Amino acid sequence: MAYVQRKIPFVGTPDTNPETRPFFDAAAEGKLVLPQCVQTKKFIWYPRGISPFTLGPIEWKEVSGKGKIYTYSVMERANPPYCIAYVELAEGPKMMTNIVDVDFKDVKIGMDVKLKFIKAEGDGPAMPFFTPA
Amino acid sequence: MSLRGAGYIVGAWEHPTRKASDKSVTLLHAECAKGALDDAGLTKDDVDGYYCAGDAPGLGPMSMIDYMGLKVRHMDSTDVGGSSYQVAVGHALQAIQTGRCNVALITLAGRPRSEGQATGTAPRAGNPSQAEMQFEYPYGPATANMYAMCAMRHMHEYGTTSEQLAWIKVAASHHAQHNPHAMLRDVVTVEDVVNSPMVASPLHRLDCCVISDGGGALIVTRPEIARTLKRPRVKVIGVGEAPKNQNGGDVDLVYSAARWSGPPAWEMAGITPADIKYASIYDSFTITVLMQLEDLGFCAKGEGGKFVSDGNLISGVGKLPFNTDGGGLCSNHPANRGGITKIIEAVRQLRGEAHPAVQVANCDLAIAHGTGGSLGTRHVGSTVILERE
C-alpha cells in the first residue's frame, strides 16, 4: 500500500522550553543533536538541560542518526495510519519516533533505520523520523 | 513501623452508571462518597480525611471538600493516573497510623463516555512546558499504541501470541455476563478477539478496555472503628507503590512498575502469590494484565502467555480467578481510571458478596493492583493486598 505521510503536530514553540533550543536549531539544519551527560558520557532521550543520571551538566553533541527498531505499533485506527516506534540509536538511547516512507507490512523489530527530518505542520520545527536504511 | 493491618476497608461502592449524561463529575464523586459511607454504616460527619486524584475537577480536595461539605483535618491528592486509588489506600494507612485521621474517604468519578473522548486512539496535546511533550506528541502517542509497543516487544522477546492475550478478554467476558451493570456482557472467544479490527498492532479492538462514565469510593478506617461496624472486616495487609520511567533513554518495555511495587507489599503481607485466592489486576488492555501478572510473581517473566491461556483466569475454571466483575475490559473503566473498581471487586470477593456465579470459595486473601499512566512511557504501579479477617 502506498505510504501516505500524516501531518505532524507540535505543541508550543521551540522557545517554550529554552534549554532545548539547540536540538531544534540543529534539526533545522538536518542534524540530530542530543544532550550527553558530561560525567557519564551517556546520551539522553528525551532532550533536556540537565542529566537525569547525575543532575549534573550536559553537552549537546551530534549523533550518527543510525539505529535499529526496538519496538513499534501501526495505529490502524488513524487516517492515514502511522507507525510509532522506539528506535535504539547507535549511540545508546532509545527514542520515540515514527517509521516513515515504508510499507508497514515490512516493518520489523531489529530493522536498521536511518534519519529523516520532517517539518511539523503550521510552520513548526523539523523533527527527527526514521526510515529503513 | 509496618503498615500491616493499620487500616481496614469498611466501605466500598461502585456507581452503577456507565453513561452519566445528566450528571456532573462532582455529583458522581459525591454520590460515590454517599454510597461508600452507607455501605460502611458511617456518615459524612465521620469523615476526617479525604483523598482524590486528577479526575476530581478544580483544585482537587479543595473543590471537592467544599462541594460535599466535608470537615476534614487531613487530605491528599497524589495523582498517578489509574493507580492513584491504590496509592491512596497506602497513604491513608500512613495517616491513620500517625494519627492524622480516623476515617478516610477516597473517591473517583468521571464521564469520558458522555464527553465523547476517543480515549485510546487520539493523542492528547498536553501543556508544551511538560518536558517530554514536544518530543513525544509529534509522533502520535495515544494510549492504545503505547501499550501496543509493549505487547509487540513482549511477543518478540518471549514468543507471546495474540491468542494468548485474547484469553484475558475471554476470561473477563465470562465474568461480565453475570454483571448487570457491565457494558459488554456477551461471552467472547479467542477467535472473536483476534478477528476483531486491529486498533494499534498487535492490539485488536477486543484487547482494549471500555470507555465508561461512573466512579467509585472507598472508606478506610482504623482497627478500633472497623470492629464497631457491622460489615465483614477487610484488613489491608500489604501496600506498595513504584514509578517506572524511560530512564533517560534506557527504555525497557517488557516490565511494568509492579516489579517494584509488588515485593514490598508481599513482604509486608507475609504471603506469596501462591496464597492469593482472587486477583484484581488492572486491565486497560490485555497486555497490561499479562505483564503485571508476571511482574507480581504469579508466573515467571515471559511465561505470562502460557499462564493466562486455557481459562486459567476464569472463576471456577482456572487457578487464578481475576476481575470477576468483568473488569475494565468488559464492565467499567470510569474516568479512564480503573484502580478503584479493582479494589471494590476485591472487597466484594473477600466479603463473599461477589455474584454467586463468580464468587471464589473461601476467599480470604486478595490482591488489587493498579497501573496508572502509560506502560510505554512512564507510569506508577501500586499494589494492595487484602485479608478477610
> What SS3 class is residue B137?
helix
> What value does the mean pLDDT take over residues A28-36?
98
- Structurally, chain A folds into a number of domains equal to 1
Our CA-based measurement puts residue B198 at a distance from the nearest CA of chain A, in whole angstroms, of 6
For residues B200 and A36, what is the distance between their CA atoms, to the nearest angstrom? Answer: 33
**Report field, pTM of the whole predicted structure over 0.90:** yes
The domain spans of chain B are 8-116+209-388
Residue A112 confidence class, pLDDT cut points 50, 70, 90: very high
Predicted local confidence at residue B126, as pLDDT: 85
Average pLDDT over residues B361-368: 98
| Grid cell locating A41 | 558520557
Q: Is A72's Cβ below 8 Å from some Cβ in B?
A: yes
Over range B229-251, report the average pLDDT.
Answer: 97
Mean pLDDT of B127-141: 95
Q: Tell me what the mean pLDDT of segment B93-119 comes to.
A: 94
Q: How many helices (H) and strands (E) does chain A have?
A: 1, 7
The mean pLDDT of B99-120, rounded to a whole number, is 92
Q: Which residues pair with A126 in a beta bridge?
A: A119
Q: Which residue among A48, A76, A98 sits closest to B140, beta carbon to beta carbon?
A: A98
For chain A, positions 94-113, list CB contacts with chain B under 8 A: 94-98, 109
Identify the residue with better confidence: B119 or B10.
B10
Q: Is the pLDDT of residue B118 over 90?
A: no
The contacts found for A53-58 with CB under 8 angstroms, 24 or more apart, are A53/B248
DSSP 3-state of B76: strand
What pLDDT is attached to residue B123? 86
A2 has a pLDDT exceeding 90: no
Residue B231, pLDDT > 70, answer yes
**CA dist B297 → A69, B127, B254, B300, B323 (Å):** 29, 37, 14, 7, 18
Question: B342 near B371, Cβ under 8 Å?
Answer: no
User: Is A109 domain-assigned?
Assistant: yes
Q: Return the C-alpha cell found at A72.
A: 513499534
Is the pLDDT assigned to residue B285 strictly greater than 80? Answer: yes
CB contact under 8 Å between A71 and B253, yes or no, is yes
Q: What is the pLDDT of residues B141-158, one digit of tens each?
A: 999 999 999 999 999 999
pLDDT of residue B117: 82
In this structure, is residue A119 part of a structural domain? Answer: yes
Would you call B249 and A93 a contact, using CB atoms and an 8 Å cutoff?
yes
C-alpha distances out from residue B8 to A18, B230, B275, Å: 49, 13, 20
Per-residue confidence (pLDDT) for residue B280, from 0 to 100: 98
CATH architecture of B8-116+209-388: 3-Layer(aba) Sandwich (3.40)
Range of the domain at A108: 18-132
Say whether residue A11 is in contact with chain B using an 8 A CB cutoff. yes
Look-up: residue for cell 501478572? B293
If you count residue pairs, one on A and one on B, with CB atoms under 8 Å apart, how many are there? 131
Q: What SS3 state is found at B337?
A: coil
pLDDT band at A109 (very low <50, low <70, confident <90, very high): very high
Average pLDDT, chain B: 97
Interface contact A3, partner B, CB < 8 A: no
Task: Indicate the Cα dihedral angle B245, B250, B256, B260, nearest 10°.
Answer: -80
Identity of the residue in B142, B151, B248 whose CB atom sits nearest the CB atom of A42: B248
pLDDT in tens, A54-86: 999 999 999 999 999 999 999 999 999 999 999
CATH of the domain at A52: 2.40.50.840
- Is 90 exceeded by the pLDDT of residue B194? yes
Is B199 within 8 Å of chain A by CB?
yes
Looking at residue B54, what is its pLDDT? 95
Mean pLDDT in residue range A118-133: 97
B137: which chain A residues are within 8 Å (Cβ-Cβ)?
9-11
**Alpha-carbon gap: A112 to the closest alpha carbon of chain B (Å):** 16
Predicted pLDDT at A20 = 97
What per-residue confidence (pLDDT) applies to B125? 84
